Structure 1
């Protein structure tokens, strides 16, 4: 068997290649879009196992997949990653994935249907998370999200191998293992696509893609002009720290003359400034007004030093205030409906009533009801 190639495209168009799988009888080699080996899988037909090896150290095993007549067991050698089991159910037309072993919680189910496999995540009320659609010609496998008519996530085009080979449960589990993506790989692909759209290179490993990418300015990139320091890359003058007052909060530590090293911090102009001025001084001195009584404040504000006096409404007694309201009250009288006798009220309702008559079902005999057949 010659080496087969499976090319994976992002989306429905054959433009953006995300990964390439070199499939052979000995194993699978997974490469990214830059032809860099990311994963290495080896087959061992004698023990019916498949192992994932470290590409940098091919002798080091990262995961082992053991196949048997009941399904597949995934053995992981990474700390914090529980094993997974994939068991055949419903006569081999469904695969149930459990996290943590044979008695773990159900994570996903894979149902083999007419033209593909439907993947359902547990806890989604039976809704399909994604489907694997096998094209009739056997040239490609299309992975859609959300259902059979959802958006195309990936499309795997096969060369020198028929895609229908992976429709069998055991072969599909093998296909599922070497084509699944980790969260780190998915994030790296997103960063690469964003970099292509922006026209810049991808972010370096270990560095956030939101980091400041502008030019760095050090003490060697500035020139002194009459007490004002101006950056070479900007025509906007910047005051030196020596020109600021000693009590200013924006004063930075002085740098020695022989210290020309860069601290590695990117200072964005006006990036750390605030729109409001921060009050300075002793906090206790700023909070003295809190202890001044209101009477003292009011007297100092009045030109004649008058005191607060009561309003005119306080001189009116409560009886006088509510006397007019009590006088306007009237006695409650019964409404006109109270004069109509009850017999007259319900007389029309009694006359309109019809006598109850037996329904048609009473004409059917009990034997006919019980047997469900019409008697002669």
Structure 2
């Protein structure tokens, strides 16, 4: 029987048993509509409010500043479109980076077709935003800066506090996509000067289809969805009660064991990086060597295609990816890897391995052993590699 090793935790995570157990009663026994005034409805309303408080406490926000969504992409869309249309009387300029998740990039592209101007900041070879370019890009028409907290492909963590200060000093709203950061990093929205922050439950062992947007009190933003009075008239639609309950338990568990989680994953990550570098030639670690998420490993393997690498690993029971889960079906090289300066041919040979709470040292050993064999086999079929060997 083929061993299965799941190393795509940046794409999604399995729901933990404690999370599922917390959700189950809300499918059958506690099923009331939170907008109802009778006891069954008020019971679910109170449960949602408790989760709102849990999420708020984790990021040092107020419960009334937390709005539940259907996930991170919706939160990104709401933050950017909501700010853009609510503040167009002040200006029409938005600043973001070239390595954002497509939930941000495609939203910005949509706004460009609707009269807004967008500046896409460069990043250095490690994926850090060019801070001088950020400062120089701000004009009297700038209404929003949207920079992700940590990159979903290469794991690089941005200087969020510095970006937040620049935004605050220039009286510009600051949004950060923290989907990969929540559950891996301590976040204080007040200290970091964050006005809007996107989250998603399924990246931290919660259910899919639920997330949240933090909106600082006083921020001028349009509602995302019109209809009922849910989420204080800003996001209509009956709440996903089991999902919200699961999100609350998942985020609670994540921050109860955050230090232990980070220490263990960092140790496994560093071992995986070290063992790959020591045993496979012509490889490049992508992302910042130190300022990176604890479970993120991203390598480019020269002379081979990423798709062939993924399929070969899958046959050995190893689940990995070549980048964002939202673009895994694309044949184009990663926009993140191109932005950090990799040529197309090397960007095509990228592999993202993301560790999680259920991975072990034995998993790492198995993956490295498998990679050595797979990379060697694929390179033997590469004319480019043959030319390098002859030289």
Confirm or deny a common fold (TM above 0.5). no
TM-score, normalisation: structure 2: 0.22
Q: Comparing both chains, which one has the higher relative contact order based on Cα–Cα distances under 8 Å and sequence gaps of 6 or more? A: 2
From the CA coordinates, give the structure whose radius of gyration is larger.
1
